[in-house]
Amino acid sequence: MSCGSSAFRNASKARSAEDGFGLIELLIAMVILNVGLLAIIASFQAGIVTLSRASRVTTAAVVADQQMELYRAITYDSIRLASASIPATAPYTTDPAYNASQITGTCAGPPYPDECNASRTVTGADNKSYLLNTYIVQTAPAGGRAVKQVTLVVRDAVNQSRVYVRQASSFDQSTG
Q: What are the mean pLDDT values of the chain's consecutive 10-residue runs (176 residues total)? A: 58 59 86 93 91 94 95 90 91 91 84 91 94 92 84 95 94 76
In a domain, 2, yes or no: no
Whether residue 124 contacts residue 63, with contact meaning beta carbons closer than 8 Å, is answered with: yes
Q: What's the pTM?
A: 0.74
The alpha carbons of the chain give a radius of gyration, in whole angstroms, of 33
| C-alpha neighbours within 13 Å on the C-beta side of residue 137 | 13
pLDDT for res 16 = 58
- Residue 156 lies in domain: 33-175
Number of C-alpha atoms within 13 angstroms, CB side, residue 94?
7
The pLDDT of residue 110: 80
DSSP state of 18: T
Contact 161, 145 (CB under 8 A): no
Return d(Cα 121, Cα 134) in angstroms, integer: 12
User: Does 3 map to a domain?
Assistant: no
The answer as to whether 119 is a domain residue is: yes
Where b means 16+ CB within 10 Å and e means fewer, 4-38 reads eeeeeeeeeeeeeeeeeeeeeeeeeeeeeeeeeee
pLDDT at residue number 102: 87
Does 8 map to a domain?
no
Alpha helices in the chain (DSSP H): 2-17, 21-72
**Total tally of structural domains belonging to the chain:** 1
Q: Tell whether 162 is covered by a domain.
A: yes
Decide if 59 is inside a domain.
Answer: yes
Contact in structure between 136 and 110 (CB atoms under 8 Å)? no
